Amino acid sequence: MPKYKTKLSVVIEAVQFLGTGDSCAEVNAFLGGQHDPNIATWKDCTYDGGFIKTKNGDEEFSPSDYIIKNNHIDGFRVCKQGTFQTVYEKIND
């Protein structure tokens, strides 16, 4: 899975949801490999996105959004594409 870091060197894992069947499968794998309603729920049409369950409540994701996993926040979050590209840069493993 690609890794990214902030300019403050906080390393996260992330996947971009592109609104395709392959992207749905990639998001499911990123969230733990199975569709678990305790982690995420999909909208009626999965290509439209869904919701990630976080400590602060449900966060909606749509095509082009990134779903990030940050061990410092103990879970998953949603990040809009523009914000993601401003804050994070890809790193080599």
What residues does each domain of the chain span?
3-91
- 39-76, pLDDT tens digit by residue? 677 765 578 888 888 778 888 999 999 999 877 666 88
- Mean pLDDT, the chain, as a whole number? 82
Q: Give 77's contacts (C-beta < 8 A, 6+ positions apart).
A: 52, 54, 59, 67, 68, 70
At residue 87, the pLDDT reads: 87
